[in-house]
Structure 1
Amino acid sequence: MGPALPKIRGRRLGMVLAGMAAVAIAASLASFAMNPASAQTAGCDVEYRLTAQWPGGYNADVEVTNLGAAAVDPWRLEWDYAGGQKVTNAWNATATQSGAHVTAVGVEYNRRLATGATVSFGFSGTTSGGQNAAPASFKLNGVQCTGAVQPTPTSASPTPTATPTGNPGQDEWNPPANLVQPLGEVWDHVEDTYDLNFRNFGWDQVMATGGTISYCVRWDSQNTVTAQTRDRIAAKLQDQYDRWFDQMAGWNEWPFDRIEVNVVGWAAYDRDLLQWSDDSVDVYIGDIREDAPQCAEECGRFFHQDGNYSQCPGGAARHYDQSLWLTQGMGGGAGGDWGQRMGQEYFVNALDSAQIHIYLHELGHTFGLDDFYDWTPTGQCCFIMKAGSSSTITAFDQWMLRDWWRHLKSRYGY
């Protein structure tokens, strides 16, 4: 894709999970021993989702919520397949399989499952004879799921975490008291990790266009796509941008009520894969870069950060700021100043979901938000930028986004 954001770990493959799946299969709840050396027990909730299926294969997500009174470290989830399925690779967990029996164990950055917390992981697998039924039951740390929830000890009520709300004219930094320390830790980490003189963050792109973002879709797939799906993808990109930026409207001199998102182009291996004949988007065929179809570099901001699109066939009006790179069979995702990449089947199957988990995580990277593979801010367990810990944008995510604007706005004269 070209040079990375300077020293930004968010450019790495972010193995986050596919949230809001097309097929949701709820597993039973669980009561389990939190620690074999302890008498404490607690309940859990397990949800198993198929996020994509194709002949001979599938992707799945699993969410485990600790409903009990104590943390478990490390968590270990086990189940048996009845249809000959085989797990081939996993993200946000280490998965092993012996015969029909599968064991998934937390990895370094998510191994501790606090009370009230949810951990998510995903995997790809193969099927045999078209059979792909969900597991009948699960065991967490060796104890069968039963649905029991143990009472928690009486304790002081936690400080509520407020969701940012728009307040025209507000020009001060006023996060909830319980977020002040972790947000400070995050920004200290940003200053140690990023080159803040870099000029192609998502913020720079939005300010350069006066509040719009234009996309070109890299259709890295041999599946066909209809005009209806094309238009649904464009609408969903707008919807997901709104999920991040609605809370910015009117806050701390943020100048836009809405970031307008447009799709101006599509790139594919073969024109027959794009099943429309209208000219509503530019079409690029046969330019293969990084083993995938590439939209015209002459029209891409990533390649022309000076804003010179004089060689773009459609001129500046048809340039694109970011690429949505949809790769057939891919698990997980990646994101940066160039755009976002994830599985083609996953994204299309999630178009009816409220929040497309992987896309939202990777879009956060485009606007500078980091990964949290090797550390966690004080008091925070579960938020969308911590891979595998949340399938929705949280208040902590929103305040991290606001903090970026607070620190960068002076470069734009605010």
Structure 2
Amino acid sequence: MGAIYTLGNAAANRLSLLLLTLISAEVLDVDSFGVFSLFLMSVASIASISAFGGAATINSVVSKFYMRSKDLASSVLTMSMLMSVFVSLFLSALFSPAIYDIANASGAYEFVFIYFLLFILSLLMAVFSSLEGAVYALKMAKGLLAFSLLGLLLSVASSYFLGAIYGVYGAIASIFIHRLYIALSAGRLAIGKTGLHVSVGSVKRNKEFALMAFRRLSFPIAAASVLAAPAVTLALYILGKREGVASVAEFSIVYQCFVVAIFPAGAIGQYLIAKSKGVLSEAVNVRVQAAKYLFVYGVVAFLGFWVAAIIASHYFHGKYEISISSFLLMGGAASIYCINCSYSSFWSSLGYAWPIFYSQIFMAGSILLCSLTLGETSLEIGFLLGSVSQIGVNIVLLRLTVHEKVAL
């Protein structure tokens, strides 16, 4: 049942984001939604880096050490949150100029306001990621699912009301309300009565342990995020400057479908990390089993993109021009990406996450290369080629790393 609750929680959170995006696409004009889309992508990029791979690290550490020492587990949770604050502060300054430019903003006040919004929202997302890792490790996904379902209703209601009245800033406010709610909910579960705590003192007492945990898992995952997330945002910025903000808006709708499709696979991976507990034989068996299930899920996800293409063509007819090839290319990319999640979970469960970084080099490179050299559907082709290359890299690294011990 743990996998079902984990999957349900991931689906609810990502569906909230998808519905919020679709509602914003409906209530905002095309150019405003394009600005909103680039802002949302920038927030996600900053959050994925500032989270510093904390979810996988906390999941792994808490599942192994929680019963032995809550203070050790708390030191890793606290360090993750502290790093999120400092990294979000820094990266928000780097991403703000692109939003400022695309939005045709003017004046120092608007720049500072954009910076502040990027920082707050990315920090909330990063903190939630850390707390979510602890919740999964403590096998409390059922409680988080209940909060996520309420958050789904909250996001729909707030986006309709605030977006229609206050435009872009109203849509951003609805994201803030949703992310604050689920972050507080995850904190209540992970820290409430479990014995875990957020304390600088725990980091001081267990500094060497916490640093070792982050060196083995968080650093390579964070390095992978540095490659992948900004690559997508930069590609969107290039698309917006070359073909207009409307193109960013149209791609964003397809991309949010991609995000919803792949995150359940990632959530299953989080569950499997806790299940394997760093034992090679367990990790091997879990990876092979996961690959089979994720292959089936990938096929279903691809068929889902067919349905999404049909719905989008009717729902947004006359406002957005999204080709069916965009949905099918991203559907293929999502299917392959889901299978790749079995490898990512395998590496993380063994505390060896550098292969995730190596595979992301190919993903980021494919997206940027295609965005610079191709025309229509350039980003979609980049995602598809990147997903295929990731599978190849992981297969090669798996053979080189553990040889005949691991059956492909």
Q: TM-score, normalised by structure 1?
A: 0.25
The structure with higher relative contact order (CA 8 Å, sep 6+) is: 2
More strand by share: 1
In terms of Rg, which structure is larger? Answer: 1
Q: TM-score, normalised by structure 2?
A: 0.25
More helix by share: 2
